[in-house]
Amino acid sequence: MAAAQKKTYIKKVTLSIEPSNEVAWDTNVTLRCQAVLSKQEVVQFTIYKSEDVVCTQTMSSSNDLLCPLTNLKVDNSGRYSCEVKFEDKEETSSNHELTVTEAPAPVLHINPIEATEGDEITLTCVAPEQASQLYFYRDSENIKTMKTNSTQAVWKRHVTISGTHTFHCSYGIHTVQTYYISPNSNTVSVSVKELAITPVLEITGPQKIYEGDQLSLTCSINTSLPSTSDAYLYLMEGTEHLSEGFPKVNHSLLVLDKGPADFTCELVVKRVEKRTSKNISVAELFSAPTLTLSPAEVFQEDDVTLTCRSDSYASERLNDSQLMYSLDPPQDFLYSKSNGVFYGKAPKSEINVSCVAKGKGVTKSSEISTLRPKVPVSIPEISVVGPAILGQPVKILCRSHTGSLPINYTLVKGYTPVRATTVRLASEEAVFTVESTSDLGSYKCEAKNSLKNPQLSERLIDAVTVPLSNLTMTVIPDLAEITEGGRLYLICSVEGTPPVTFKWYRSDDENPVYAVTSYSHNTQHYQIPVLSRKHSGRYRCEAANPANNIVYSDFVDIHVRMALWKKALIGGVCALGSVSALVVVLKLYFKSRRDTVDNEESSVDYTEMVNAQPADPSRERSFSKFKLIQNYLRSTMGQDRLSGLAVLSIQNEPARKFDIRQIVGEFAERKARPVPFL
């Protein structure tokens, strides 16, 4: 089988610039593209400048593509590459940078080169190749930049400054990588003659000018020119435009401000500006007024006087009666006592006001003053900061709810000042510390923020908190009488000032089993309404009040005993067992005796043996009690009552120690039923 035909592939593509990558302006270069393939084929060569096609040709890969570039310009500078395509394959060479240097300078033409101020001249800048922008310079200062897509630019302008001036130009070209600036063109000198016309300014007025004087101003030119729109006169004071016209401008004005006044007469002709200025001095007619307040410290509704006055005035131009004063804005609560003096009652809120002085058309104002009537201090309140604890220092607060700061507070004991302080900020408080609580009721507080009489508070009324002591816990009923089903009271009593918070604890629990706060009493109790064996344990009481001291009682051991009915039941069971055992013993005994009698043929009657008197008298009494209970009371009681009475009868000595009243009371509470009252 024949061998498979090998495919052609592109090994390498190279580009070279001959004779060099950097050449002078207006020279020739050749771009050479070479391709190396695995075997000779017909391929397409393409040379690019950036993304623009420069040369392209289809030919044998054994030949080089030669692309000549003649008369290079700056615009030919850029990045070049070569691409070779064969069938569906292509390969590109590396980039080569071509730089064109030593471009010639542009040429500048100016017409005319001699002119008069206001004349128009034409500047023409010609570049050796197409430029992106053209620049015009006067005396080395760039005065015009023109965008263009041609090789030259024409600019017309009016010359407005006399003298000899030099002009030149240059051009710039955008290349792909940079922006090229050409050398400067030739320099052209232009001679500009001054326009032979000058504005004239005349000022007429008093020899010494004061504020309020009338001035007459005249603006004209020193030579006659025909009335034309190309010439115009402007009259100004500083930067303020006063008047305009041609060929003469007249203006009259009242001088209002002291100091230097600058006036200018300006002529504009053929875009040329000619100016003449004059400076005059203006004396002060009267000084700016000042506004004073009397008294300096004023309270709401107090009498107040505002005085508006100028400290000095030119008596040769103005007398005192020609200078009038007023308030700005006018105040309704004030009336004028005389020129510049205003009297009335101080308002309740602050106001901003200034005074105005007027004379001979001149108006001057004072600086704005703020009238802040002070608020009289109110009657202070005196109180204790926190609880007043017996035996500890006490802090006393004095405070007035209204009153302008600063306020002077004085702590008074009886009629004697003890301590004083001044509150200057709203965040401050007047707090005094006294060491003893024994005489708190004799303290008062005095507040003052003016020369008027101070305000005095009521006497301090604040209860003294006595720290807690002597905490005891009482148990009801007695410890020996605490049984199941009963009710238990743990009563805590303490000495000290309420409110008191009581807490009861069991020794095996960190949390209290009960807590309560008493606001008027020093005794509280914790009740367990129905006791059980689980309530046994060690109990104690804790108490606390605002004095922040905590006191504890001693531990009390609570042992909940078995209920009496349980004891009676157990006793009855035990007694029944004993009787049963005794019966068995007696039966055995009598049987043995009977057998003995039969054997001995005794003549003793069995019945007499059984009914014989017992040797132990207590046993006889025991049997007698049971007989009494069973025979005479049996029909009126149940088994529980029978067992209880049996126990009480047998254990009569301990039973006599019970408190019958307490038992009856508890019975009445448990068995109480509402009975309708008829």
Superfamily of domain 10-101: Immunoglobulins (2.60.40.10)
- Which of 26-30, 176-180, 518-522, 575-579 has the weakest average pLDDT? 575-579
Which position has the higher pLDDT, 210 or 585?
A: 210
| pLDDT (0 to 100) of residue 235 | 94
The 3-class SS string of 367-398 reads CCEEECCECCCCCCEEEEECCEECCCCEEEEE
The 3-class SS string of 557-618 reads EECCECCHHHHHHHHHHHHHHHHHHHHHHHHHHHHHHHHHHHHHCCCCCHHHHHCCCCCCHH
| pLDDT (0 to 100) of residue 622 | 45
Is 342's pLDDT higher than 50? yes
Question: Are the C-beta atoms of residues 215 and 252 closer than 8 Å to each other?
Answer: yes
Average pLDDT in the 71-88 region?
91
Q: What is the rounded distance in angstroms from the CA atom of residue 128 to the CA atom of residue 152?
A: 9
Superfamily of domain 469-558: Immunoglobulins (2.60.40.10)
> Residue holding tokens 């009397």?
294
Please provide the CATH number assigned to the domain covering 381-465.
2.60.40.10
pLDDT tens-digit map of 184-223? 999 999 999 988 888 999 999 898 999 989 999 999 988 7
pLDDT tens-digit map of 439-462? 888 899 999 988 777 899 999 887
> Could you tell me the fold of the domain covering 290-371?
Immunoglobulin-like (2.60.40)
The tokens of 349 are what? 């809120």
| pLDDT (0 to 100) of residue 471 | 92
Average pLDDT in the 153-181 region?
89
The tokens of 676 are what? 């309708």
Q: Which of 533, 531, 563, 577 is nearest to 640 (CA)?
A: 563
pLDDT tens-digit map of 406-445? 999 999 998 899 999 999 998 999 999 998 887 888 899 9
Q: Could you tell me the pLDDT band of residue 579, with boundaries at 50, 70 and 90?
A: low
Is 294's pLDDT higher than 70? yes
Q: What is the rounded distance in angstroms from the CA atom of residue 538 to the CA atom of residue 487?
A: 17
* Helix, strand, coil abundance in the chain, percent, nearest 5: 15, 45, 40
Q: Which of 621, 620, 597 is nearest to 609 (CA)?
A: 597
Q: Could you tell me the pLDDT band of residue 343, with boundaries at 50, 70 and 90?
A: very high
Question: Are the C-beta atoms of residues 65 and 82 closer than 8 Å to each other?
Answer: yes
- Which of 326-335, 412-421, 483-492, 665-674 has the weakest average pLDDT? 665-674
- DSSP E strands: which ranges in 188-271? 188-193, 199-204, 209-210, 214-221, 231-237, 240-245, 248-254, 259-269
Question: Are the C-beta atoms of residues 516 and 498 closer than 8 Å to each other?
Answer: no
What architecture is domain 107-193?
Sandwich (2.60)
| pLDDT (0 to 100) of residue 474 | 92
CATH value of 199-283 in 3.10.310.30, 2.60.40.10, 3.20.20.140, 3.30.930.10: 2.60.40.10
Exposed e or buried b per residue across 435-468, where buried means at least 16 C-beta atoms within 10 angstroms of its C-beta: eebeebeebbbbbbbbeeebbbbeebebebbbbb
Cα angle 290, 291, 297 (rounded to 5 degrees) comes to: 135
The tokens of 319 are what? 């007398």
| pLDDT (0 to 100) of residue 272 | 87
3-state secondary structure of 54: strand
Angle between helices 564-600 and 639-650 (to 10 degrees): 80
pLDDT tens-digit map of 102-127? 889 999 999 999 998 888 999 999 99
Question: Are the C-beta atoms of residues 32 and 40 closer than 8 Å to each other?
Answer: no
List every span in the chain annotated with CATH 2.60.40.10: 10-101, 107-193, 199-283, 290-371, 381-465, 469-558
How high does pLDDT run on average in the chain? 84
Which position has the higher pLDDT, 639 or 646?
A: 646
Q: What is the rounded distance in angstroms from the CA atom of residue 368 to the CA atom of residue 675?
A: 90
